[in-house]
Chains A and B, each alone.
Chain A
Amino acid sequence: MRLLQRPLSLALRLTLLFTIAATIVLSVFGLVINKSMENHFFSQDTDELRVIVDAVQNALATANSDKHSATLEQRFDDILVGHHDASLFITTRDSGTLYISPEPDLSTIKIPHQSQLEADLERRWNYNGLPYTVLLRTFNEIGPDNRGPFRIVAAVPFDDHLHFLNTFRRNLWIMIAGSVIVMSIMGWVAVRRGHAPLHEIISRIRRISARDLNTRLPYEGVPYELVDLVTSFNEMLQRMDEAFQRLADFNADIAHELRTPITNLMTQTQVALSRARTINEYQDILYSNVEEYDRLAQMVNDMLFLAQTDNRKKIDVGPVKLDEEVDKLFDYYGGWAEECGIALERTGAAAIQGHQSMLRRAFGNLISNAIRHTPADGSVRVTISTENSGVTITVENPGQTIPPEHLSKLFDRFYRIDFSRQQGVDGAGLGLAIVKSIVTAHGGNVDVTSYNGLTRFQISLPLHQGPISTDNRLRRDK
């Protein structure tokens, strides 16, 4: 059933097109030839008839008396002798018959009623199933015995021509049909040959497996029309290769990240079980285990969150006042920052359409990250500014300059600058990856710069359905 819905194959379609075009062109060609042959024979006949009629006319004009009537008839016979199978019929003014050939009976021919014909009338005529070419002429001379004007009808049989034409036509159609068949076959072969590069590309593509995504299709021998296809396919391979690589890396990272806490748990528990211990010792071990489990659970939750955010096609948006979110986060992190001797500052305000809890989480991650890396007496500064294209939120903090080679990888999952600090305060190393994921889900982007002891994260978010000015909202509330 599904096969029926698929359009016909390209080769078949092109061949059909060839065939139809060739049939139409050759048929028209054949019809034109046939018609002109027919016309040619017809005018040949009428020329001959005109000669006869001219001779008859001449005979009539030169005959002058009744006495010559017999000789006149004789002259008409003579005229006809030179012309194979020609026949003649001459009538006088009073519709009397001056002369009539024995066969065919030209008197049965239907003659237009006008008594006077301005010019010769040429036509085809059938008698007893045989075709004839006929010429009619009115001769306005009074003639001998005042019997004019005369009407002269001359005819020659057409059947020889017709026979030839029929044979010719049959041969013509056979040749045309043959040509059409030959052209269709040639067209089909040409299309198949034309598709050869395509089949070549297909077989190359078929040979590519997940293992060798780094291979690329060669451009040699690819016809101009297919270069774009090869280019697009190679670009797709590139993207897939990268995605595969990232996935493989990610899997390796997960395995690595899980191995550490699991090793801790196993060793600790096995050592603990190796001999009897006091209740306090057991408790200590269980507490320590709980902490380790907590970390594992958090890592799993973060990874799930990332997977969901990345897979989500669209997020539920509502108005989010960014300044309020930042203030709430400052309120949350304030005590901790204060204990570390770090000030939190915000300037600017804006509102956008976004997912509130996701945005809060993104800003929260950036702010806590900033606090963590700020030395005492420093301050974390959050700036919100509105531009034409969207809203920019920067979170900057003084602290150790991050070497440039790390900057682009900061948002990678599990990426940590200081690898000796594996299970340290940075958590699972997913915080910044989550920030990036959330910002991407909002159609924005996040960037980081670090120089002269100042690290700055910058989030750009589109306004979505336009900015909702905080001032306007306040005014409306009044």
Chain B
Amino acid sequence: MKILIVEDESKISEYLRQGLTEAGYMVDLARNGLDGHHLAMTEKHDLIILDVLLPDIDGWRIVQSLREADNNVPVLFLTARDSIEDRVKGLELGADDYLVKPFAFAELLARVRTLLRRGNTNATETTLTVADLELDLMRRRVTRSGKKIQLTAKEFALLELMLRHRDEVLPRSLIASQVWDMNFDSDTNVIDVAIRRLRAKIDDDFEPRLIHTVRGMGYMLDSSSDS
């Protein structure tokens, strides 16, 4: 998987490259709009991360050029300006997602994975499995080690989200947004409580423990861990 980052701020771009490389992606980095435009138009990438505000050619233009050239590579916009007009403009021009600075790296990673998965997900998937945990999406049933577990609708949604994003760190804000449709930062430990309750049902009586807390970042469902 190859990702192009177009970002003129050197610190952010360097850290993004490091983070994404360590997450297992190949990363091309362009530090200005012209290089970014050139790389985007000439090389094949699986995803482009674009800063909107660039000194020469801005992000809008690059997306426009891409779409005019019938290039449907997924584009994730980064911007410091969070206005609805900007968001609408970005989406109209063909951006696939939108992230406002400052953002959590885990959130960026989660969105990158979602965008890369788009198009090759198995929509007909009816069961999700991790270790001995099984989710029957059709019948909304959960079993672990063959034992049936009763979950509320939201707990089920939360578990489904974690299974679909296994081995990814899910920030609390992303969980709130995806499971409860709460798109504002709430400074409460609501998500922690929800995770604790889910853990009590699927993890406490079993080995290995699947849900892990990633300090300062969020939660992760680890399919390989045995800690």
B187 within 8 A of A: yes
Q: Judging by beta carbons under 8 Å apart, are A332 and B180 in contact?
A: yes
Q: How large is the interface on B (under 10, 10 to 19, 20 to 34, 35 or more residues)?
A: 20 to 34
Assembled-state Cα–Cα distance A357/B186 (Å): 13
Q: Judging by beta carbons under 8 Å apart, are A332 and B216 in contact?
A: no
Smallest CB-CB separation from A369: which chain B residue?
Answer: B188
B114-128: CB near A (< 8 Å → 1, else 0) gives 000000000000000
Q: Judging by beta carbons under 8 Å apart, are A302 and B188 in contact?
A: no
B131 within 8 A of A: no
Stretch binding the partner chain, chosen from B22-30, B52-60, B189-197: B189-197
A252 within 8 A of B: no
Residues of A within 8 A of B215 (CB): 287, 290
Assembled-state Cα–Cα distance A478/B47 (Å): 45
A387 within 8 A of B: no
The total of interchain contacts (Cβ-Cβ below 8 angstroms) comes to 69
Give the number of residues in A that approach B within 8 Å (Cβ atoms).
39
A427 within 8 A of B: yes
Assembled-state Cα–Cα distance A364/B182 (Å): 9
Smallest CB-CB separation from B80: which chain A residue?
Answer: A304
B52-79: CB near A (< 8 Å → 1, else 0) gives 0000000000000000000000000000
Which A residues from 309 to 346 make CB contacts under 8 A with B? 316, 328-329, 331-333, 335-336, 339
Q: A336 and B193 in contact (CB under 8 A), knowing A290-B216, A298-B187?
A: yes
Residues of A within 8 A of B190 (CB): 332-333, 335-336, 368
Q: Judging by beta carbons under 8 Å apart, are B194 and A335 in contact?
A: yes
Q: Judging by beta carbons under 8 Å apart, are B188 and A308 in contact?
A: no
Assembled-state Cα–Cα distance A308/B180 (Å): 24
Q: Judging by beta carbons under 8 Å apart, are B102 and A335 in contact?
A: no
Assembled-state Cα–Cα distance A363/B223 (Å): 38
B14 within 8 A of A: no
B183 within 8 A of A: yes
Identify whether the interface residues of B are mostly helix, strand, loop, or mixed.
loop
Q: How far is the CB of B182 from chain A (nearest CB, A)?
A: 5
Assembled-state Cα–Cα distance A329/B188 (Å): 13
Q: Judging by beta carbons under 8 Å apart, are B186 and A290 in contact?
A: no
Assembled-state Cα–Cα distance A266/B176 (Å): 31
Q: Judging by beta carbons under 8 Å apart, are B193 and A302 in contact?
A: no
A169 within 8 A of B: no
Assembled-state Cα–Cα distance A308/B85 (Å): 12
Q: Judging by beta carbons under 8 Å apart, are B82 and A331 in contact?
A: no
Q: Judging by beta carbons under 8 Å apart, are A331 and B104 in contact?
A: no
Residues of B within 8 A of A371 (CB): 188
B170-189: CB near A (< 8 Å → 1, else 0) gives 00000010001111111111
Q: Judging by beta carbons under 8 Å apart, are B216 and A291 in contact?
A: yes
B217 within 8 A of A: yes
Top 4 nearest A-B pairs (CB, nearest first) are: A290-B216, A427-B187, A297-B102, A287-B216
- With contacts A316-B84, A336-B189 known, what are 10 further pairs, Cβ within 8 A? A297-B104, A301-B82, A328-B181, A335-B193, A357-B184, A365-B186, A368-B186, A368-B188, A425-B187, A431-B187
In the complex, 8 of the A-B residue pairs with CB atoms within 8 angstroms, ordered by the A residue number, are A287-B215, A287-B216, A297-B104, A304-B82, A357-B184, A360-B182, A361-B184, A364-B186
